[in-house]
Structures are given as C-alpha cells and as structure tokens.
Chains A and B, each alone.
Chain A
Amino acid sequence: MNRVRQLSAAGLLGIVMIFELSAFALLSLRDESFDLMSLAFGIGLVAVLLIQYIVMQWISRYADRFILVIANLLAAIGMIVQYRLSPDIAIKQLVWFCIGMVCMVMCTLLMRAKRFFRSINIPLMILSIGILAVLLVVGKENGGAKNWIIVGGISFQPSEFVKVALVFIMANHFTVIERTWDWLPSAIFAIIVAALLVMERDLGAALLICGTYLIVFYVATGKTGTTLIGLGAGAIGAVASYHLFDHVKARVAIWMNPWATYSTSGYQVAQGLMAIASGGVMGLGLTKGMPKSIPAYNTDYIFAVICEEFGIIFGIAVIALYLVFIIRGALIALNARTRYLMLVAFGCTVLITLQSFIIIGGVIKLIPLTGITLPFVSYGGSSMIATMMLLGILEGVAIQNGEMLEDAMDEASEEYILQ
C-alpha cells in the first residue's frame, strides 16, 4: 500500500482558528458590555471549520485540504465583517454556510456516482431554462435586477444554481467532440440562459455565464476560430447593450468618472473608492471604519469594506488567496482521471475565477461595475450554497485523482515485486 505523502495542515488550521477567534474576541469588546454572543459565534465558526475539515478527511484523505481551508478562511473573513456590520445577518450567513457545507459533502459524494450528473443532463437544462423563464414573470426586483424568487418564505436566486448546472452541462457536451452537434446544444443553452438573464437585467450573471462558457469551450475544443467568433459576438452584444440599455450606459459613465455623478448614480463607486483610500496600507482597524456609508456593503461591496478596515495589504492577500484557490483548482482539473472530470473541475474553477475577478475589478474601478457576489465572502444564501457546491465538486474530483494515483502506485509496485 503506497500512499502519496502529505504535509500536515495542522499548523495552518491552528493559525486560521486563532485568526478567527481573535477577530471575534475583538468584536465582543466593542461595546461597553462584553458581548458573549460574538465569542460564541467565533467558537461556532471554528467548530464548523473543524467539522468540515474532519468530515472531508473522513471521506477521503485525498480531499484537497488547502482549498477547503482557503474557502473557510474567506467565509470567515466575510462573517467577521458581517458580524461587525450587523450580527443578525452574520448569524443567517453562518446558517447558510452550514447548509452550504452539507451541500458540499453531498456534491462530493455524488461525484463518486460516476454517471449521475451525466444522466440528468437534459432535466438540468430544462429545469434551468424553465426556472429562469418563470423568474421573468414572477421574479422579485432587488437592486435593479429581477432575479429573486420567494418559495415558502425563503427568497433565493436561481441564477446562482444555474451556474452550477452549467458546469455539468458543458462538461457533458464537451467530453466527446466529433461532430458539431455534440457541443451545439450546450451553446444554445448558454445563449438562452444569457439572454434570459439580460432580460432580467442580471448583467453580472449573464457576463459570467458567457465568459465561463467561452473559456471552457476553448479549452475543450481548441477551436480558436470559433472561440474568437464567440468573443466577437460577445463584444458586439456588449456594445449593443451599451446602446440599448440606459443602465449599461450609466455604468460605463460611472466607471469613467464616478465623481461626476456623485450625488446620484456614481455614489456607490465613489463611496467604495473613498473607503479603500481611507483604509490605506494597514487599514483603519476593525470597527473603526464607516463601511455602512457604502451601498451594498455586505454583498457586492464587501471587498471595499475589507480594504477599509483591514488595509490594502490584507486586500491583496485576499486576492492572492483567490489566486491560490484557482491554481489549485486548475491543478485538480489537470490531474483529473477522465476528460469529463477534467472539464467539470475546470468549469468550477473558471466560474470562481471570473466571479471574483469581475466583482473585485468592479469595486476597484478596473472594469465597469456589474453587481455579482464575491464567492464565499459576500452575504447571500443562494450564492453561498452554490459556491460551496462548486467547492464540493472540486473536492470530489480531487479525491478521485488521489485514489487513482494510489491505485496506479500499487499497480506499479506490484508489477515490480512480481519480477
């Protein structure tokens, strides 16, 4: 029995725990009276981290521990900021995080059922399009986008789950490419989904879906020409939407100069920039900033809040954490046993990459702002659960990679002993 040697992550877990607990200890002293709640919340969060880690290790020793820790750390940073802003929201977020964890474990286990996701390909497609079409009629508007639906008192955002479905649909259609018909359905699916999202004015999600589809398409087929045509079509679509929709025009104008329209549409971006500038290199200190002056401070603009209170270095470290997550995700895809698994893992990675890039870039005014959540960090039940599902899928692929390697090693050494 050969085993791939792994370094211990215990020290890493320890420092993550100290980080989380000290932040909550600091928050518990914020008011005159000692806030026991905060400390309890911190301990709860650490417990969740440990449970998550142990469960994943119990499932398989080849579960990628580092992306798990990164995801957990990012979620913890998110919840520290949420708790500092409003404890109620943070508690809800923790509940969502726990639910997300269950979904993650389920996804990981389902990945072992090798043909499960391939067999539900068509239902997934119909369901995704159906729910988005229904949304067009009954959806609730929130912040300009009509992308919410309320089922049994709980509001959720179906577009988040459509992203997860997209990963499987793409992987299924790209696994074997001999004729155009093999991949065309997925392209039609992506276009319909993107069109529905644009109609619901959820531009961020539409951009994300199109971008992910194009990148995975390029990787899977290697058709540079078709990809460029797709890119061109996307660019034409972007230009067309610039001329068609006033809100797109407004977004671009804000991006060019948020200060010109400070009192109206530029307010959010300008406030975000001021928050980042006020934070400076080391930040103002937890609880010392004024993040509540930024609209959407606990969802889209949470990165500005992090920069304000923890500083630019911390902000860059968060970006680096995402980058490490992405690199590890891509490595999992590269090591994958089958082409299908490779495409699934890569799809998940691309989604998280583009999502974090689009929103961080929007907040720091590198690209025009489109409202989507920052994976793992922003408040939002659907977003948290969907992102945790992506994480679970990646872990599922990683586990299969490790087991495959172990098998191969055993096989090879057996062959060599038999000699």
Chain B
Amino acid sequence: MRADIYSLTVSVMRYFFVAAIIYILIRIVYHSINEYNELRRVKDWIEKGYAKHIEFLPPYDTNENGFILVKTNLIGRSRKCDICIDDKSVKRKHAIIFEKRGDVFIKRKGLARIKINGEQMTNRLEELLDGDLVQLGRVKFYYRVKRTSFREEAEHE
C-alpha cells in the first residue's frame, strides 16, 4: 500500500519536474532577452549620444542627473522604484514611463497627479514627446530623446 502511494506520488511529481524545468527555462530566456535589449539601449546611448532619458530640474539635478530610460521605469519615492525621487510630494509609486514600439508613454499610478507642460494630466496614459516638461508633485523633469538636443539648447541660452 505504502509502495503504491509512493509510486503514485512519483508519477505525479513527473509532471511537476517537467513543468518546473520549462518554467525555469522560459524565465531565463525572458530575462535574457530583456537584459539584452537594455544593454543595447545603453550602448546606443553611449556610442551615438542618442537615448531616451529624463533630466531633473533643480533642486533635484544632483549628480545623478539624466536617467536613461529602459523599457519600463517605475518612478516614485519607494526605494524599489527604478527612478527613486526623495521628495514628500511624490507618491511611493507615482508613475510609469514605458516604451512601446518606439513611442514613450507615461502612465499614472492610482490617483497620482501629474502635469505635462503645466497642464493637469486627465487621461491615464499620455504620450511623451521630446522636450516635454513633466511635473510629479513638486518635482519637475524634462523628457529628452537626444543628448545633443540639450547641448543645442544650452548653446542658445
């Protein structure tokens, strides 16, 4: 009887083992693809001076100025966020900036308030265009596509 139960357990476990290894495999492949894409972005940025990034306005323009955007970026006060802003006016998880087919969008989290170019964002999703000024609470930052665009602007001023 005991042997029978064990035998049945073994038979059931076969499915678990196969499922587990396939899950592990898929997960590794998924992570690898993500990592590969992000590396390519970063390299692009380094080599061609071309990258989608955000730059904070004072008083948040610390040394960490200019965050290069990856595929999805969670912005907020929480340490778990990809882009962490230490300011009371920013929610723990405030917004997500993500890229889809080359276009960049910003998405509100919950009832967080976001202003784009001074206008209150009413939709849940908004597309970001080069040079947009985004405001989360008191924190302001520019969304830029090219590093050089910043240089040109600086020269103008």
Contacts and interface: CB of A to CB of B under 8 A. Distances in A.
Nearest to B63: A1
Interface of A: 1-2, 4-7, 9, 11-12, 15-16, 18-19, 22-23, 26, 29-30, 32, 66, 69-70, 73, 282-283, 285-288, 310-311, 313-314, 317-318, 320-321, 324, 327-328, 331, 335, 405, 408-409, 412-413, 416-417, 419
A321 B25 CA distance: 7
Contact of B68 (A2, A9, A11, A30): A2
Contacts of A331: 36
Interface stretch (B13-21, B102-110, B116-124, B128-136): B13-21
A26 B46 CA distance: 51
A413 B43 CA distance: 13
10 shortest A-B CB distances, which residue pairs? A285-B10, A317-B21, A19-B20, A408-B46, A412-B46, A285-B14, A419-B151, A5-B70, A282-B14, A413-B66
Given A15-B23, A320-B25, A419-B154, A314 B18 contact: yes
Contacts of A7: 31, 34-35
Contacts of A287: 10
8 contacts: A7-B35, A26-B9, A288-B10, A311-B14, A311-B18, A313-B18, A317-B21, A417-B66
B22 interface: yes
Contacts of A320: 25
Given A22-B16, A287-B10, A324 B29 contact: yes
A29 B70 contact: no
A405 B39 contact: yes
Contact of B31 (A66, A412, A413): A66
Interface of B: 2, 6-7, 9-11, 13-18, 20-25, 27-29, 31-32, 34-36, 38-39, 42-43, 45-46, 49, 63-66, 68, 70, 82, 147, 150-151, 154
Contacts of A66: 28, 31-32
B28 A324 contact: yes
A207 B19 CA distance: 36
A108 B72 CA distance: 32
B8 to A, nearest CB: 10
Given A287-B10, A288-B10, A335-B39, A313 B29 contact: no
Nearest to B147: A416
Contacts of B14: 282-283, 285-286, 310-311
Contacts of A73: 21, 24
A417 B9 CA distance: 63
Nearest to A29: B6
Contact of A5 (B10, B17, B28, B82): B82
Contacts of A9: 31
A335 to B, nearest CB: 7
Contact of A15 (B13, B27, B39): B27
